[in-house]
Amino acid sequence: MIKNPWLQILYGVLLALLLDGLLFHSGIYARYLDPRSTAGELHGLLTVAKPKEMRGAVAVVGDSRIAEGFSAKLADAMGGGVRFVNLGIPGTTPRVWHYFLRELDPDARRFSAVVIMLPNYDETSKENFNDRTLDLSYLAPILRYGDAAPVAGSFDSRDARSRALLFTFLRGVAYKQDILDFILHPAERLKNVNGYIEKRWRAIYDYPGRPDSLEGVSVDSAGRLRFPASIKPELKPLLQTYLAEMHYDERLQHHERYRALWLGRIAERYRNSRLFIFQIPRGPLHYLKPAVAPFGVLAKLEANVLPADAFTAFERPGFFFDQLHLNARGREGFSKALVARILPLLK
Amino acid sequence: MLFTSLIYWPFFLLVALLCGLARGRLRVLILVIASLLFYAYWNTLLVWALLGFTVFNYLMSLVIGRSRALLALSIAADLAVLGFFKYYNFLVASAAGLFGFSAEPFILNIVLPVAVSFYTFEAISYNVDIYRGDVQPRKSFLDFALFLSLFPHLTAGPIIRPSNFFPQIDHGKHSDAGVRWGVLQIVKGLIKKMVFADNLAPVSTQFFGHIGSSPDAVSAWAAVLAFGLQIYCDFAGYTDIARGCSRILGFDFPSNFERPYLSADIAEFWRRWHISLSTWLRDYLYIPLGGNRRGAARTYLNLLIVMGLGGLWHGASWNFVVWGLYHGVLLAAHRFTSGFVSRASFWYSRAMVPVRVAFTFLLVNLGWILFRAPDFHASLLTLKALFAFRHGADYSLLLLPALLLAISLAWCLADRGRKLQHYLFEGGGLRFPLSFATSLLLIEIFAKTDIAIPFIYFRF
């Protein structure tokens, strides 16, 4: 009989952690995650990308620009027996890719090569990726208790660190919205979970890319955007913002820190394997801004960092359907160009 | 430092640990320092305002004795502080509206000190009680500073009385049962605030924050019901946590809420809602005004004055005054009708209790419109909207408030006399850890944590 109330409180806290662990860390609940959610998508990809047939494939890792812009089917066709796998997860960043690869490839020997995209070698965006708490939503199903300190420590702000600790120890917090949705619509969830990822995986493989194009978009001598009549109105402000941001030139220190940490960790895991890093076609108007050769952390990484101009030929409006993503034509051209670059290096 | 923030709980545990190790005066000193640190977390400068207020009232308490003039001086000074910080800009704007001059040159950029309404009322009650001879002035400045600033109740009450508080400094109430009871209150408070109030907040905010020209009945009823439940769960949740933390530190504060929405009439509602404020208003305003001893007309007038000022206490806005007057009218009407409706009539029968409870709940919730709406125009639009039934309205808006109301009612039925909650959290063995762990899991899964929603009464 426990009589000391403080001991009872301690047991209560430990019991709550145990229950959370049993429900959410054990993977029991992860099977029922909404496959369309961030955590569900990542968990689903892990499920379908784990089988043995993926062994020896070339993994192409990135965000939505890889999901849209790279075709594993085309790559397989010209790979001469080398298989490719598209691991592009919309909204993800190197921090997520590191833990995703760790989960998918625990001994760092599953893939014959890992090919990682970077949006720009010369990163000048104003977002501080160190403090990107959205990463935690993706990482929820794969973080372990031991990750608490390194993950929390990788964020800059106190709020983000607290959130990271909370998400690592109490995974129910991360799944909250998903659980509520499951409770309110159980039948729909069970229907969605069944076979969704397998179907989506096949759809990704056969996906030809988006047919629409920004062909005709240009910049006049005064630096203003000119649009053809066919352009969708909702794209205009996005392209205006993209053009303004393209001219940012300030290199912020936090980008270097972020790359040093997360690309460094990925390179560390794959130091005995083949790791490739490349700059994805940056945008439809980036032909106006010369690509900058790898510098700083990138230049020192133990990895094959492809030249900055490897794929700049695709930085034209005709290869894009919006300010970030390659269209069907761009997808085809870029996929072939990537395979052509990688294959000789694999031999 | 919000009770719902992660930083509060390590802070509280550290203070509880230090208090557990310390004895006598050292414990009081630790609590005063911790309370000032807690307050400084919001605004370091305002700690000096609180300290200045404390020193002034402490010195006055030593000299007031039976002097009516000194008591008047201390009350006037306290009300001047409250008036300046809380009502100056409101009075200037109201006068400008009345006399047609521009208020802008007279408006000051004043930061409202957190909890000023609460500690002002506590200081006034202390000096009045000394004048009345109900309590002796406390010689120790630390004791008095602790009375005003003890951090669990500092920001939003309950408003404590000197006669209840000071004996507990001398004879603290530390016990194992007290710790268990405190944890029960904290867990209840966190569930009320984070699971109920914070999930309901977006429903009411969505409506009251964007009232269009013609809102429909379903969205209006959903918002009114959501806010009625939100404000109760928010404030009662805060009070539960405050009482729970205080009990663990060795102080037993009186109850502030006794399931007020189960009241069968409006007078009963005010005996069960924000009890520490309504009893303060009764003892220090209603009774000195003559209470119900000077005839019916004066009683009704007193009710209107007390409730109008009680409304104004909540905030510098005519909406609050009208909300208070609305309750004054309801109380007067209740008193008037009670005079000729026999207690033996069918209306007061057992069968009619649910009807009377529902009727009182409806009246109180209609009043909350004035409390929540940003201005009179929005209040009127909301009242009109309650009857604007339209085809194709979004009935799903009612789902969450109705679900949480049903859960609350089911809990009240299962936990009559609060026997169930005490059974779950009392005694040794594994019952307490199991109940505690289950509650933590409920909070973990159902609490709204993606946005920080401050306690409503913090701004009062």
* Percent of chain B topping pLDDT 70: 97
Across chain B, mean pLDDT equals: 88
Q: Tell me: do B236 and B380 sit in the same domain.
A: yes
- Please give the Cα distance from B402 to B397 (Å, whole number): 9
The amino acid at residue A290 is P
Give the pairing type, strands A304-305 and A225-226: unpaired
Contact B352, B346 (CB under 8 A): yes
- A80 burial (CB, 10 Å; 0-12 / 13-18 / 19+) is exposed
Q: Are A275 and A266 in contact (CB under 8 A)?
A: yes
Distance CA(B239)–CA(B188), nearest Å, equals 10
Examine the fold and report which residue of B142, B172, B202 is the final residue of a domain before the chain moves on.
Answer: B172
Read off the tokens for B61. 């308490």
Measured between CB atoms, which of A5, A20, A175 is closest to B441? Answer: A20
Query: Among B186, B444, B450, which would you mutate to test the A interface (most chain A Cβ atoms within 10 Å of its Cβ)?
Result: B444
pLDDT at B428 over 70: no
Q: Is B367 helix (H, G, I), strand (E, B) or coil?
A: helix
* Pair B131, B182 in one domain: no
Domain of B356 in residue numbering reads as 177-459
Distance from CA of B170 to the nearest CA of A (A): 24
Q: Which structure tokens are listed for A150? A: 């390194």
- Whether residue A181 lies within 8 A of chain B, CB to CB, comes out as no
Phi and psi, residue A116, nearest 5°: -115, 135
State the DSSP H helix or E strand holding residue A206, giving kind and residue range, or none if neither. Answer: helix A196-206
- What is residue B186's predicted lDDT score, i.e. its pLDDT? 94
Q: Do A5 and B432 touch (CB under 8 A)?
A: yes
Asked whether the beta carbons of A209 and A328 are under 8 A apart, the reply is yes
Select the more confidently predicted residue: B371 or A3: B371
Distance CA A282, CA A326 (A): 10
Domain count, chain A: 1
Task: Provide the shortest C-alpha distance from residue B441 to chain A (in Å).
Answer: 6
Rounded Cα gap, residues B262 and A6, in angstroms: 35
Residues of B in contact with A12 (CB under 8 A): 432-437, 440
Q: Which residues of B are catalytic?
A: 314
H-run or E-run covering A118: strand A113-118
**Inter-residue contact A67 to A88 (CB < 8 Å):** yes
- With contact defined as beta carbons under 8 Å apart, do A82 and A241 qualify? no
User: Taking CA atoms, what residue in A is nearest to B403?
Assistant: A184
Cα(B114)–Cα(B438) distance, rounded to whole angstroms?
A: 34
Q: Is residue A238 within 8 angstroms of chain B, CB to CB?
A: no
Kindly report the pTM of this predicted structure: 0.81
Kind and range of the H or E element at B433?
Answer: helix B431-446
Q: Could you identify the residue written with the tokens 């729909």? A: A188
CA distance B388 to chain A (A): 29
Measured distance CA(A268)–CA(B333) in Å, rounded: 78
**Pair B152, B190 in one domain:** no
SS3 (DSSP) at B449:
coil
Q: Rounded distance, CA B257 to CA B273, Å?
A: 5
Contact with chain B for residue A166, Cβ under 8 A: yes
Q: Three-class SS of residue B129?
A: helix
Q: Which of B87, B78, B8 is nearest to B42 (CA)?
A: B8
The Cα B251–Cα B168 span in angstroms is 6
Beta-bridge partners for A218: A226
Question: Which of A278-282, A328-332, B385-389, B449-453 shows the lowest per-residue confidence on average (mean pLDDT)?
Answer: B449-453
Q: Any idea what the Cα angle at residue A145 is, between residues A140 and A146, rounded to 5°?
A: 120
The reply to whether ipTM tops 0.90 is no
- Tens digits of pLDDT across chain A (347 residues): 777 888 888 999 999 999 999 988 888 888 888 888 888 888 888 877 776 667 889 999 999 999 999 999 999 998 788 899 999 988 999 999 999 999 888 888 888 899 999 998 887 777 888 999 899 988 888 899 999 999 999 999 988 898 899 888 888 888 888 888 888 888 888 888 877 777 877 888 899 999 999 999 988 888 888 999 888 999 999 999 998 888 877 777 888 889 999 999 999 998 867 899 999 999 999 998 888 888 888 888 888 899 999 999 999 999 999 999 999 999 999 999 999 999 888 87
Residue B14: predicted pLDDT: 94
Q: What residues of B are in contact with residue A167 (Cβ under 8 Å)?
A: none
- CA B131 to CA B141: how far, in whole Å? 18
Amino acid at B72: A
Residue B1 lies in a domain: no
Residue at B2 is within a domain: no
Structure tokens at B53: 């207020």
- Smallest CA–CA separation between B30 and chain A, in Å? 21
Contact A1 B180 (CB under 8 A): no
Residues B257 and B380 in one domain: yes
Peptide bond into B158 cis (omega under 30): yes
Q: In chain A, count H helices and then E strands.
A: 15, 7
Same domain flag for B270 and B304:
yes
A55 domain-assigned = yes
> Any idea which residue has 């809102």 for tokens?
B215
Domain co-membership, B53 together with B201: no
- Dist CA A327 CA A333 (whole Å): 10
* Residue of A6, A12, A162 lying closest to B179 (CB–CB): A6
Tell me: do B130 and B216 sit in the same domain: no
Gap from A16 CA to chain B (nearest CA, Å):
4
Determine the 3-state secondary structure of A212 from DSSP.
coil
Sign of CA dihedral B334, B336, B339, B341: negative
Report if residue A18 sits inside a domain. no
**Using CA atoms, how far apart are residues B283 and A87, in angstroms rounded to an integer?**
71
Q: What total number of domains does chain B contain?
A: 2
The one-letter amino acid at B260 = P
Domain annotation covers residue B332: yes
Q: What is the pLDDT of residues B112-149, one digit of tens each?
A: 777 888 899 999 999 999 999 988 999 999 999 999 99
pLDDT given for residue A95 in this prediction: 95
Verify whether the Cβ–Cβ distance A11 to B430 is below 8 Å: yes
B376 pLDDT more than 90: no
Contacts of B202 in chain A (CB under 8 A): none
Q: Quote the tokens at residue B74.
A: 């201390």
Cβ(A8)–Cβ(B182) below 8 Å = no
CB B266 within 8 A of CB B330: yes
Residue B311 tokens, joined = 């409304």
Binning pLDDT at 50, 70 and 90, where does residue B325 land?
very high
Is residue B450 over pLDDT 80?
A: no
**Which residues of chain B neighbour A166 with C-beta distances below 8 Å?**
6, 449
User: Can you give the pLDDT at residue A64?
Assistant: 93
CA-to-CA distance for B444 and A20, rounded, in angstroms? 9
* % of chain B with per-residue pLDDT over 90: 42
Question: Which chain B residues contact residue A21 at CB under 8 A?
Answer: none
Contacts of B433 in chain A (CB under 8 A): 2, 8-9, 11-12, 15
Range of the domain at A290: 33-346
C-alpha to C-alpha distance for B385 and B375, rounded to whole angstroms = 15
| Identity of the residue numbered B29 | L
Instruction: Count each helix (H run) and each strand (E run) in chain B, helices first.
Output: 21, 0
- What torsion, rounded to 10 degrees, do the Cα atoms A42, A45, A49, A50 define? 60
Q: Beginning with the edge strand found earlier in the chain, give each strand of the sheet holding A275-279 in spatial order.
A: A84-88, A58-62, A113-118, A275-279, A304-305
| Residues B141, B278 within the same domain | no
Q: In whole angstroms, what is the distance from residue B315 CA to residue B117 CA?
A: 9
Q: How far apart are CA B432 and CA B440, in angstroms?
A: 12
Q: Counting one residue from A and one from B, how many pairs have CB atoms under 8 Å apart?
A: 71
Question: Is residue A28, in this structure, part of any structural domain at all?
Answer: no
Establish if B3 belongs to a structural domain.
no
**B50 and B146 part of one domain:** yes
Whether A11 is in a domain gets the answer: no
A6 touching chain B per CB within 8 A: yes
Q: Spell out the residues 6+ positions from residue A289 whose beta carbon is closer than 8 angstroms to its own.
A: A246, A247, A282
A14 occurs within a structural domain: no
Examine the domain organization and report whether B163 and B69 are in the same domain. yes
B182 and B168 co-located in one domain = no
Q: What is the CA radius of gyration of chain B?
A: 23
Asked if residue B298 and residue B234 are part of one domain, the reply reads yes
